Amino acid sequence: MLKPFSYHIDRNIPMIKILVVEDEVRVADLIKRGLEEVGYKVDAAYDGQQGLNLFQNNSYHMIISDIILPHISGFELCQKIRLIDKNIPILMLTALGTTDDKLEGFDAGADDYMVKPFDFRELDARIKVLLKRGLEKGSSQPSEISYSDLTINLNTKEASRKGKLIKLSPKEYNLLLFMIKNPERVLSRIEIAEKVWDTHFDTGTNFIDVYINYLRNKIDKPFDTNLIHTKPGMGFIFTDKL
């Protein structure tokens, strides 16, 4: 299921502590050994409840979790972790690879999603990207960002239009934030996948279009002026000038 992993220890990696939640002991131990070989400190849990207990009683920089777990599913575990820590990176590893599965994982609060079987080199690359993003979240930034009559509060992670509060899921918020930071230019699906999901766009799935429709129903449909527009064959553009 896992492709061979032959990295040497990277002595330049600071001591990053990762929690791996995987009910197949052999797989969990293989992931643990592989990540430890490149310099990470790793704890392993073999069911969702054990994973939650470890998270509540220890400090981690990142969570890697399977979805199908005993006692508490990966989706439930992700939601419970998000109630405690809104910013810790969460990467889901699973054999479930349909668009609906990915959407449910993202809505639960996951930051990224890898389908088994996977290559450890890709796993390590995804981990580095998510950890870097976590560090960037801690940098100084303005409290609000606005375009037209839409405002995003960066502290509370809430959006409003014409003073009306708009309830967004974590991925809807991240997608909207990316679009409002890049107004009036075409954003391709590939760019959105890389910048919002930190993943390569799979042309066989339509999860980006699904989330665009989610946003349209919330920030465009109830108002007179549309802000999200489709550019056929190219992508999407966020503007009030069309």
Averaged pLDDT score across all residues of the chain: 85
Contacts with 176 (C-beta within 8 Å, 6 or more apart), sequence order: 152, 159, 168, 215, 219
List of domains in the chain: 17-137 (3.40.50.2300), 144-238 (1.10.10.10)
pLDDT at residue 151, as a whole number: 93
pLDDT at residue 134, as a whole number: 66
Average pLDDT over residues 158-168: 93
The pLDDT-based confidence of 1 (bands split at 50, 70, 90) is very low
Average pLDDT over residues 49-61: 89
> pLDDT, tens digit, for every residue of 170-194?
889 999 999 998 898 999 998 898 8
Long-range contacts of 181-186 (CB under 8 A, 24+ apart): 181/145, 182/238, 183/147, 183/238, 183/239, 184/237, 184/238, 184/239, 184/241, 185/237, 186/231, 186/234, 186/235, 186/236, 186/237
Query: At residue 4, does pLDDT exceed 80?
Result: no
Task: Describe the chain by its helix, strand, coil percentages, rounded to 5.
Answer: 40, 20, 40
pLDDT above 70 coverage of the chain, percent: 86
> pLDDT, tens digit, for every residue of 111-138?
888 888 888 888 999 999 898 876 655 5
Contacts with 90 (C-beta within 8 Å, 6 or more apart), sequence order: 62, 63, 64, 65, 78, 81, 82, 109, 110, 111, 112
Average pLDDT over residues 71-95: 88
The pLDDT-based confidence of 11 (bands split at 50, 70, 90) is very low
DSSP 218-236: IIITTSSS--EEEETTTEE
The pLDDT-based confidence of 238 (bands split at 50, 70, 90) is very high
pLDDT at residue 10, as a whole number: 43
pLDDT at residue 71, as a whole number: 93
- Of residues 105 and 125, which shows the higher confidence score? 125
Most confident of 115-119, 200-204, 227-231: 227-231
pLDDT at residue 103, as a whole number: 78
